Amino acid sequence: MQGCGLPAAWAGQPQWRVLETGFGLGLSFLVTWQAWRADPDRPRLLHFVSCEAFPASAVDVLLASRAHPELIPLATQLAAQWQGLLPGLHRLSFEGGQVLLTLGVGDAKAMLQAQSLTADSVYLNACDLHTLKAVARCCRRGTRLATWTVAPNITDALTHCGFEVSKVPGATPECDKLEALFNPRWEPKKPADAPAHGVRAASHCVVVGAGLAGAACAASLARRGWQVTVLDAQAFAAGGASALPAGILAPHVSPDDSALSRLSRRGLRATWQTVKSQLAEGQDWSACGVRQRRFDSSGALPADWPEAGQFWSRAATPMLGAKASGFTDLWHAAGGWVKPARLVQALLATPGITERYGVQVAGVRPSVLPSGDGWQVINEQGDCVAEAALVVLAAGFDSAQLLSQTVGAAGADGPADPDGALPLQAIRGQVAWGPVPEGATMPDFAVNGHGNFIPAFPVTGQERPHWLMGATFERDNTSTQVRADDQAAVLARLARLLPATAATLQPAFAGGLVKAWAGVRCAAPDHLPLVGPLDGVNLPGLQVCTAMGSRGLSWAVLCGELLAAWLHAEPLPVEQRLARAMRANRFQK
């Protein structure tokens, strides 16, 4: 830290990005985190990016901190999240999202190439020339570097990579260290994912939509200093698809560990970190685990699934009372259920967010603010209902229509039809739910695979816990009217998923005692979210976050962080390849 001029160098900055080339037992991260906590002039956000080919165990992380008692509380928090570290990038969040650790599990050079990063400080461990070149690509002019390695080959390599290097005394006369400043004779290249219109300084932002996607974006931006106004046509938060009484959190599994599978794990980690720190266990969520029933050959684990993956998913033992399908079920230990509306409310409680409901938004149009270009949010009469430098469209399926009108108003080069820029498809779903009958045959965990079933969750004002089974899947239907035939379809799904439970609940269905709820989700053609700017349409200051499909609980928090990371040139929460797979402009021609 001293070799990089910290903590003085980060004083008063909106964010600070530290890169370390070897995480080890995490002591450098813990010391930096501790210094951040103790500094009244600390940056609003501390990013710590590190690499480790062979992560230590959580127990070893805790043991290493024993020699430094002041670090034990921080090490305990770190160890609590130190699970499921498969190869690739992992984002761990602390201090309410203001201290972010991005850990790359794998070779340092490969992990740096997978990340989009501009570092302000570098803690360098011994490495070869190729890794040093990867480090240099992550530096800006003025980035300071420090290392205990003083070998001539390291000095020469740093100089070759554009650093001005000095050998200085270390803690003892026998222990020198190197300090270096990145100041190449050439102009450093900008990162491939650098914002097209420059890094946004935090000011005022409008988010259209108070569901999971909108709330997550609002919270991520507010943590970075934005004053956020959230608009929604409903009379309260989570009035659309996010009003589902309860939803399942479970990873997607595929034999080739597809992008969808990897993103689902990244999203689950982000959601659970938020849920467990802000909501009440047992009342708002439960990490009860999820059993995935398999009725065909899809949904299998990769053949070379490593031990670290057992935290997420593993083969399950036969299920008592369930009909054998011929395919091995899976157990998702990191699964459970969450009440979406409670998560939305917690996200919108982030300081800096103002909520306005009953506001019908018809589109946005360009405006000129004193600080530069901006946007006006307008109603059907063309009246301005809000104005800001940044607008985020997170209105689900309606986002395409809003963008269509926006593009026409802006006179931009992009398409003026919703299918051109945001090819969204509406997906109607209906669920059945009701109180758990006396003596009902229920599993102790959630179940998915042919629909999904939550056996028991509390409902405010109700004495008995409730169960939930869903959901139907109907494309190109935006109706939220409950239909009797869909209740029968839900019961049929339950009969295949859990025959004994279906028999227990059949009298309630027959007697009309089961409640129903219907909502409309939206999805993109490739089943991944649409996040970020529409650069090809030339609309600076306009962002999109939508197309969560049936995985809003799994993806919304991650997407909010990704949108904010792109805006502020921060380290990405996922690999560049996965992030680009979610970019909102990927369908533009």
For 392-404, give the DSSP string: EE--TTHHHHHHH
Whole-number percent of the chain with pLDDT over 90: 82
Joined tokens for residue 384: 């301005």
For residue 203, how many other CB atoms are within 10 A of its CB? Answer: 15
Phi, psi of 533 (to 5 degrees): -80, 160
- Shared domain for 550 and 479, answered yes or no, is no
- Shared domain for 210 and 101, answered yes or no, is no
Domain for residue 587, yes or no?
A: no
- Shared domain for 363 and 463, answered yes or no, is no
Domain for residue 193, yes or no?
A: no
Rounded Cα gap, residues 122 and 50, in angstroms:
10
Torsion of CA 100, 106, 108, 109, to 10 degrees: -120
Query: What is the predicted pLDDT for the residue at 419?
Result: 47
pLDDT(321) > 90: no
Amino acid at 109: K
- Shared domain for 175 and 48, answered yes or no, is yes
**15-33 pLDDT, tens per residue?**
999 999 999 999 999 999 9
**360-414 pLDDT, tens per residue?**
999 998 887 665 578 999 999 999 999 999 999 999 999 999 988 775 444 444 4
pLDDT(219) > 50: yes
Looking only at the bridges linking them, the beta strands covering 542-546 and 390-393 are parallel
Average pLDDT over residues 189-202: 66
Helix (H) / strand (E) containing 16: strand 15-20
**326-353 pLDDT, tens per residue?**
899 999 999 999 999 999 999 999 999 9
Per the structure, the complete domain to which residue 264 belongs is given by: 246-338+426-523
Domain for residue 195, yes or no?
A: no
Joined tokens for residue 79: 């160890």
pLDDT(57) > 80: yes
The residue among 473, 500, 523 that closes a domain is: 523
Domain for residue 271, yes or no?
A: yes
- Shared domain for 115 and 83, answered yes or no, is yes
What are the start-end ranges of the E strands in 183-254? 204-208, 227-232, 247-249
- Shared domain for 404 and 536, answered yes or no, is yes
| Long-range contacts, 63-72 (Cβ 8 Å, 24+) | 64/25, 64/26, 64/27, 65/27, 65/30, 68/27, 68/30, 70/34, 71/27, 71/30, 71/31, 71/34
Q: What is the pTM of this model?
A: 0.94
pLDDT(100) > 50: yes
Query: What is the predicted pLDDT for the residue at 368?
Result: 72
Q: Which residues pair with 355 in a beta bridge?
A: 230
Q: Which has the higher per-residue pLDDT, 299 or 219?
A: 219
Q: Which residues pair with 368 in a beta bridge?
A: 373
Query: What is the predicted pLDDT for the residue at 56?
Result: 95
Number of domains in the chain: 3
Rounded Cα gap, residues 473 and 299, in angstroms:
19
Joined tokens for residue 402: 């809003």
Any idea which of 63-72, 151-160, 366-375 has the lowest mean pLDDT? 366-375
CATH number at residue 55: 3.40.50.150
**472-517 pLDDT, tens per residue?**
999 999 999 999 999 999 999 999 999 999 999 999 999 999 999 9
For residue 372, how many other CB atoms are within 10 A of its CB? Answer: 10
pLDDT(541) > 90: no
Query: What is the predicted pLDDT for the residue at 412?
Result: 47
- Shared domain for 434 and 298, answered yes or no, is yes
Domain for residue 551, yes or no?
A: yes
pLDDT(536) > 70: no
pLDDT(192) > 70: no
- Shared domain for 269 and 126, answered yes or no, is no
- Shared domain for 78 and 227, answered yes or no, is no
Contact of 430 with 477, CB cutoff 8 Å: no
CATH number at residue 387: 3.50.50.60
Query: What is the predicted pLDDT for the residue at 443?
Result: 95
pLDDT(589) > 50: yes
Average pLDDT over residues 237-253: 96
Q: Which residues pair with 229 in a beta bridge?
A: 206, 354
- The pLDDT-based confidence of 418 (bands split at 50, 70, 90) is very low
- Shared domain for 105 and 125, answered yes or no, is yes
